[in-house]
Amino acid sequence: MVPKFHGCIAPIVTPVDEHENVDEKGFRALLDWCVAGGLHGILVAGTNGETMALTQKERLRAIRIAVDQIGGRIPVMAGCMDTSTRRVVENIKAAQDVGVTCAAVTPVFYDRHTSQDETVRHFERILQETDIPELVIYNIPPFVGIKLTPQTIIRISELDSRIVGCKDSSGDYSGFMTLLHHFKGTSFSLMNGATPQALSEILMGAAGFLPSVCPVFPELFAEAYDAAASGDAALTWEYDALLAETSKILGMSKNATASAKYAISLRGMTDKRVIWPQDGTTPEDEARIAAQVKKIDEMYRAFKEKRRG
């Protein structure tokens, strides 16, 4: 059973202009590039999309553009996370108004986080107050201040059939394996947000992954997913070595989002700009990133030629 949300899903960056408004032309071109490259879905207005740095107006505009440009060719989920349940409910309703059918939701943040129960209540109220067809649990401890346990994720999944998946960016391999065992054979989309461990988990049954730099190398990432999903461990290890090189890009500046945005900008569709007051890339960073992108492009070409034999 292949879940709706599966494969390599791009946690897409949000290109912005000098006024920090969405660069619509560049964004539409980037979305088309991802589809043409074989990626299996889009997460718009997520962490990599600087969702909380955008104004609410521009955040919703980014979501509207993504839904419109993708036009149903691949699934789209929209980040609707916020600092309270009421704000998330309002975000979801606004996203639905522009065509969203799946919302990705984190625990609330800038909060004391007294228990795991609060996040269960958070999802209960969202389910009560919205009619969004699909909700994805987004577990990303560094950005929200709480790590959802596997048991909490399972509890939330049992609230309603509209809870269709989880993006786990905790990096907890053991916890992810607990979830894999629990959801094995179901339509629940268990997806990884930590690229270094993603392919091995897909080999063992995970639905997919959301790597930050996949828009730089969409064909490579789509093929890597296909190898792992096919169960070909030897081929997957070869792809994993290539993906390990892509992960180095994120550490080549102070800010992983800035690194990703600069690398993506090298494809000629978007600007490298990040939203104030984040650190951007320095000329030295950019030289390193450009050299790494070139290196990976050359490695991937050689890999394909070798496979063609």
Catalytic residue among 25, 110, 138, 300: 138
Task: Give 7-230's CATH code, choosing from 3.20.20.70, 1.20.20.10, 3.20.20.100, 3.40.50.150.
Answer: 3.20.20.70
Q: How far apart are CA 91 and CA 73, in angstroms?
A: 24
The partner residues of 9 in beta bridges, in order of sequence, read 41
Query: Coil, strand or helix: which one is 23?
Result: coil
Assess contact for 135 and 102: CB atoms under 8 A. yes
Residue 246's contacts (CB-CB under 8 Å, 6 or more residues apart) are 195, 211, 213, 216, 217, 220, 221, 296
- Say whether 110 is catalytic: no
pTM: 0.96
pLDDT of residue 309: 78
User: How many Cα atoms sit within 13 Å of 173 on the Cβ side?
Assistant: 9
Query: What pLDDT, on the 0 to 100 scale, is given for residue 292?
Result: 98
The pLDDT score that the predictor gives to residue 109 is 96
**Domain definitions of the chain by residue range:** 7-230
Helix axes 283-308, 256-265, angle to 10 degrees: 60
262 is catalytic: no
Residues 158-198 pLDDT 10s: 999 999 999 999 999 999 999 999 999 999 999 999 999 99
Low-confidence ranges of the chain (pLDDT < 70): 1
- Strand, coil or helix: what is 195? helix
Average pLDDT along the chain: 97
Residues 88 and 149: their CA atoms lie apart, in Å, by: 21
* The CA-based dihedral angle spanning residues 268, 196, 154, 184, taken in that order and rounded to the nearest 10 degrees: 100
Question: What token pair was written down for 101?
Answer: 């059918």
Q: Name the active-site residue from 4, 93, 147, 167.
A: 167
Q: Which helix (H) or strand (E) holds 178?
A: helix 173-183
Residue 10 three-state SS: strand
